[in-house]
Amino acid sequence: MKWLLVAKGKVFLAVCLLLLPLFVLQGAAQERLGWIGPIYQELAESLMRGFKEYYRKTYGKEIEITFIRPGGWPVCVDKVRLWGGKPDADVFLGAGAPAHELLKALGLTVPYYHKHWDAIPAQWRGMLVKDPLGYWSAFAPWLITNIYNEVVLKYLNLPVPKTWKDLLNPIYRGHIVQTLPYASGTQHETVEIHLQTMGEEEGWAYNRYLAAQLLRFSTGSVDTLHIVSRGEAAIGVAQPQMNAMAARKDGYPVAALVPDKTIMVPEAAALLAGAPNEENAKIFLDWLYSMEGQKYVLIGGYFPARIDISLTEWEAEGIIMAKHAREALGVDNFWDIEVELIDYDLELAKARWDEVNRYYEYEIFRKWDELKQTLILIEKVEEEIEAARKRGVDVIEAESKIKEARTLFGKGDYGEASRLALEARGLLPR
Amino acid sequence: MRIIPSLRGSGSGWALVWPARFIYKAKGLSRSDILIALALWLVVGFVVVYPLIFLFGESLRIAGTDRFGIHNYLDFFKDPYYLRCFGKTVLLGFLVLIATTAFGLPAAYILARYRIRGKTIFTALTLLPIVLPAYAGAFAFIVFFGRWGTLNLLLIEWGIIKAPVNFIYGLHGLVLIQAIHLLPFIVLGLMAAFTTIDPSLEEAAEVEGASAFKRFFTITLPLCTPSYFASAVLVFLWPFTDWLTPIMLGQTDLLPSIAYINIAYHFTDMYRKYMGIVSVVVSAIVCVGVFLAVKAWVERKKYTVLSKGTMFTGRQVTPRLLSRLVAYIYMLFISGLVLLIPVVLGLSAFSRRWVFTPIPTYWTLENFKLILVETPLLVRNSFVFSGVALVFGITFGLAAAYLLARTRVPGKSALEFITTLLLVFPGVAIGVSYLLAFWRTVPLATHWIIMPLALFARRVPYFLRMAYASYLQLDPSLEEAAEVSGANKLTTFTSISLPLLLKGIFVGVIMFFIMAFQEISTAVFLYRGGWETLPIGIYLNWHRGMEFGIAAAMAFFMVVLVFILLLIAAKIGGGILNVAWGATGRRS
């Protein structure tokens, strides 16, 4: 057994030596702060840089900041839920109202009125920008937009699609990409926009037709941006407004287009319940909404939220991103944008969140191949009917059948729609 | 009976010894074997069974209630969509295996049997894909083969095509990328087999007048089958665990992808999450079944060559001019395909805004300047976590391989069964199970040790498989001879088994370390700020969307780093590579 003890001792010593740097490093940190959230890495780095500098200047000591981004905001919310009130972070950084409302309802966040509460509007064009009870407030608002690649559209000789209806034009078929509503909050809210503005039946029919136009489903909003930026697809649906700005800044020929019906997403921050570093979290939130903090928000590629900001002035101060933001927004302050927002029912959206995701998954995503084949068949038969009509054939009955087939397609009964389309074809003379 | 009194002073020791003594007496087994088995079971219980119980429990939860049941499983088998995903995953497994074998068989044969110049570098290049996270290879291939990638742009420029061709998006692209990523498994497996076949068997066939072709198919290939299938099963199972590469290529109708999507994106929809976990469990069970079937077959087909104890390399030949030429062309083709990944990553790393041009037009060191601030931490973490996991892995893996191959300890099949589960469990599931299991009652998730522990749990089968396969090829009579001559088990192991197992162990160590080094899907769920590894850094920078250059710089840095490691291993240890694999062809 002696050899075993000696061997064990050696292994233990080797492991200790190997791990020594970590213990040393862990022991060295004094002040700490942790963030979790779906914000892009660039914003996290910008905020980290700015806040560390502020903390050093104000308190004369260093602060160690950790940032966890396990995925999009649904994944982040799930991670906080897994922590079960014993969080491994202090601040939930990013995500819109639905995520923060859920965190609030689960008791995972606590109210905190930061020092600049009044500099953030309570509402904008009918949409909440901050929680009246103080649980969350927007630090970086944006609109839901679509994006397109200028080079690819030009190569394909296609016009820029300006409205949601434009996207259904067959000329765009196979050139559009979007993600799944349960993979991205932005995409989910886009589906909700269609449902709330068109009504459920027409809204789902629209989404079926749009799905038939897709090249493929992406894995998330960032993936959509990536695919469009590289030109793999010409058009991307459901994008945070600042994404095109970030892509353009990096030299990609990507532009954003605010569609005819959209909403504002109040990218917000909140204090987590049971935050291990609550005091530092409050200091950070106070700083985040200050003029200085908001500049770092902009440098990180997001639009700042304060009402008293002038991008022109910031540009004059030498902040390069202020120029990009002004060009992207077309105004001097985000809240000056002239846009018609829909009357978005947040309560309704929250109440049917899972139901909408599941319906989309089961009735559109899972049946995507069948959906596309059915629509192609209907379109083909319609062409045949048109050709027969031009030849003077009586196509009234066939027309009635194919119309019914379209109606059934809109309702998601692809099998029956295909059967009727084939029946319509059968009514035409050979 | 000597060990038992020495443990008498310890109360906890008795807890182990009494059952050991009982089983020992009942089965006539060695005391040390029983103690090793008990220790291994404790480890497995803690790092595997305990978290997986949480995971399995989650799969039985009925959404919207506090009840448990098999409803989710019934739903899975009633749902045509999940069945389609399952069928497609099996198909992908076969396609990837076929493609990997087609690429790997000639390469392994050339590297193991031909005396050609540059064999070390060819070997190292062939091993390269395994050091890359699979998704890094996918990025590179998308950049090169994408609709507006280098190849399409060049073909359009040369007037060969008019519109971009879809080279990469779809099942075909996925098969290509996964086959290249998994090439080292097949090549290593086959090389090990080619070098350990006793040359006298092939020479005997040659003397009897068999042609090279006949010799290869009637002697060489059949003798390789145990090693080949030990590797092939890993390749076949890979599509059951890789969720990211298919998703990147728009292929979501596969079990791991759908499991990841369901688990990661369930938000408030608990039914979606439970179905994701069910997908993981179902695929794991099927994979374990496949694995066990292959294992049974491998054991039945075990070839024992008594003379192996005195041979370190197999038959080697100096190829004729034509064969040599074909060998060089083939190895250059394989190397070119493999090198495409680091080359494209390298070009991306030294540039920005590379899009719509065949090669970058804007060169910069900015990406490296940026990552040099971050990378020391990431590199250190990667080494420390993988290193600690390796210590765990070797200790556990050697003991487990010995138990599985050489003893009749009760429950060894169950031990293997459980460690095998790890091979096929998606990292995300292990990540989630660790978060569930090691948060409240055993709060390990707040300490960095959770990272190497998870790496160990996730990657130990890679070492274990190699060590186990080596044990299978080692004739027990050599060990028995030592024991009959009076050597105890320890002496037998260190003086007989270990030297003969060295090749397999060394391969296992490299495979384990590399696989741990590039692991992301579990780590991404467990890391906290300050614990980021290189793959997580790559993922995070890629996830920004536009910062491909920074991600590429990190990936390139990682490739260079690990490639240098491989070369150092080949040079220093290696004598081991040289002697064991005949990599430089010094010996005939």
- The model's pLDDT over B170-179, given as tens digits with 9 standing for 90+, comes to 899 999 999 9
| Least confident among A159-168, A320-329, B562-571 | B562-571
Binary contact (A82, B439; C-beta < 8 A):
yes
Residue A51 pLDDT > 90: yes
Residue A276 pLDDT > 60: yes
Binary contact (A83, B439; C-beta < 8 A):
yes
Take residue B11 and report the two structure tokens written for it: 């109360």
Residue from A115, A116, A70 nearest A93 by CA = A70
Q: What is the mean pLDDT of residues B62-72?
A: 92
Alpha carbon A428 to chain centroid, angstroms: 47
- The percent of residues in chain A predicted with pLDDT above 70, rounded, is 93
**pLDDT of amino acid B504:** 67
**pLDDT of amino acid A228:** 93
More confidently predicted of A109 and A8: A109
- Cα distance between residue B555 and residue A99, in whole Å: 33
**pLDDT of amino acid A24:** 43
Residue B375 pLDDT > 50: yes
- Tell whether B527 is within 8 A of chain A (Cβ): yes
* pLDDT level of residue B16 (50, 70, 90 thresholds): very low
Cβ neighbours of A305 (radius 10 Å): 29
Residue B420 pLDDT > 80: no
Residue B473 pLDDT > 90: no
Q: What is the mean pLDDT of residues A147-158?
A: 94
Is the Cα dihedral B148, B150, B151, B156 positive or negative?
positive
* Tens-place pLDDT, residues B255-301: 988 888 887 777 678 888 899 889 888 877 877 788 778 877 877 77
Task: Judge whether A204 and A362 are in contact, CB under 8 Å.
Answer: no
* Tens-place pLDDT, residues B187-237: 888 887 887 777 777 777 777 777 777 777 777 777 788 788 888 988 998
Burial class (CB in 10 A: 0-12, 13-18, 19+), B325: exposed
Give the closest-approach CA distance of A74 to chain B in angstroms: 5
Residue from A268, A259, A231 nearest A247 by CA = A231
* pLDDT level of residue B11 (50, 70, 90 thresholds): very low
**pLDDT of amino acid B309:** 44
Residue B308 pLDDT > 70: no
Give helix A396-411 / helix A200-212 axis angle, nearest 10°: 100
**pLDDT of amino acid B509:** 83
Residue from B572, B565, B484, B583 nearest B121 by CA = B583
Q: Chain B residue closest to A300 (CA)?
A: B544
A342: left (phi over 0), alpha (psi -120 to 50) or beta: beta
**pLDDT of amino acid B311:** 46
* pLDDT level of residue B317 (50, 70, 90 thresholds): confident
**pLDDT of amino acid B441:** 76
- Tell whether B248 is within 8 A of chain A (Cβ): yes
Task: Judge whether A91 and A101 are in contact, CB under 8 Å.
Answer: no
Phi and psi angles of residue B192, each rounded to the nearest 5 degrees, phi first: -60, -40
* pLDDT level of residue A36 (50, 70, 90 thresholds): very high
**pLDDT of amino acid B559:** 80
* Tens-place pLDDT, residues A61-79: 999 998 887 777 777 888 8
* Tens-place pLDDT, residues B95-109: 999 999 999 999 999
- Cα distance between residue A343 and residue A127, in whole Å: 8
Q: For residue B528, which residues of chain A lie inside 8 Å, CB to CB?
A: 34, 66, 68, 88
Interface mutation target, options A10, A78, A177, chain B, most CBs of B under 10 Å: A78
Binary contact (A358, B272; C-beta < 8 A):
yes
More confidently predicted of B373 and A137: A137
Q: For residue A77, which residues of chain B lie inside 8 Å, CB to CB?
A: 267
Is the Cα dihedral B224, B226, B230, B235 positive or negative?
positive
Q: For residue A26, which residues of chain B lie inside 8 Å, CB to CB?
A: 448
Residue B153 pLDDT > 50: yes
Q: Which are the contacts of A96, defined by CB distance < 8 A and separation ≥ 6?
A: A73, A185, A189, A265, A266, A267, A268
Q: For residue A71, which residues of chain B lie inside 8 Å, CB to CB?
A: 264-265
* pLDDT level of residue B310 (50, 70, 90 thresholds): very low
Q: What is the mean pLDDT of residues A303-312?
A: 96
Q: Chain B residue closest to A19 (CA)?
A: B384
Q: What is the mean pLDDT of residues B507-526?
A: 81
* pLDDT level of residue B570 (50, 70, 90 thresholds): low
- Cα distance between residue B313 and residue B192, in whole Å: 9
CA dihedral in degrees (B429, B432, B433, B439; nearest 10)? 170
Q: What is the mean pLDDT of residues B426-447?
A: 79
Is the Cα dihedral A144, A145, A146, A150 positive or negative?
negative
Indicate the average pLDDT of chain B: 80
Q: For residue B525, which residues of chain A lie inside 8 Å, CB to CB?
A: 70
**pLDDT of amino acid A74:** 74
**pLDDT of amino acid A53:** 96
Task: Judge whether A145 and A257 are in contact, CB under 8 Å.
Answer: yes
Q: Which of A384-398, B437-451, B502-516 has the highest mean pLDDT?
A: A384-398
Residue A66: strand, helix, or coil: strand
**pLDDT of amino acid B129:** 82
Binary contact (A246, B546; C-beta < 8 A):
yes
Is the Cα dihedral B24, B28, B31, B33 positive or negative?
negative
Residue B53: strand, helix, or coil: helix
Indicate the average pLDDT of chain A: 90
Q: List beta partners, residue A67.
A: A35
* pLDDT level of residue B332 (50, 70, 90 thresholds): very high
| Least confident among A149-158, B61-70, B243-252 | B243-252
**pLDDT of amino acid A42:** 83
- The percent of residues in chain B predicted with pLDDT above 70, rounded, is 85
Residue B335 pLDDT > 90: yes
Q: What is the mean pLDDT of residues A332-350?
A: 91
> Which member of A65, A82, A247 has the closest CB to residue B435?
A82
- Cα distance between residue A354 and residue A209, in whole Å: 22
Q: How many CB pairs under 8 A join A and B?
A: 148
* Tens-place pLDDT, residues A175-229: 999 999 988 889 999 999 999 999 999 999 999 999 999 999 988 888 899 899 9
Q: List beta partners, residue A146.
A: A257
Q: What is the mean pLDDT of residues A279-308?
A: 97
Residue B302 pLDDT > 70: no
Question: 3-state SS of chain B: helix, strand, coil percent to 5?
Answer: 75, 0, 25
- The percent of residues in chain B predicted with pLDDT above 90, rounded, is 24
Residue B478 pLDDT > 50: yes
Residue A85: strand, helix, or coil: coil
More confidently predicted of B525 and A254: A254
Residue A255 pLDDT > 80: yes
Give helix B171-196 / helix B134-145 axis angle, nearest 10°: 130
Residue B277: strand, helix, or coil: helix
More confidently predicted of A19 and B507: B507
Q: What is the mean pLDDT of residues A240-260?
A: 90
More confidently predicted of B549 and B69: B69
More confidently predicted of A144 and B423: A144
Give the closest-approach CA distance of A68 to chain B in angstroms: 6
Helix (H) or strand (E) holding A144, with range, is strand A137-149
Interface mutation target, options B2, B76, B245, B355, chain A, most CBs of A under 10 Å: B355
* Tens-place pLDDT, residues A361-372: 999 999 999 999
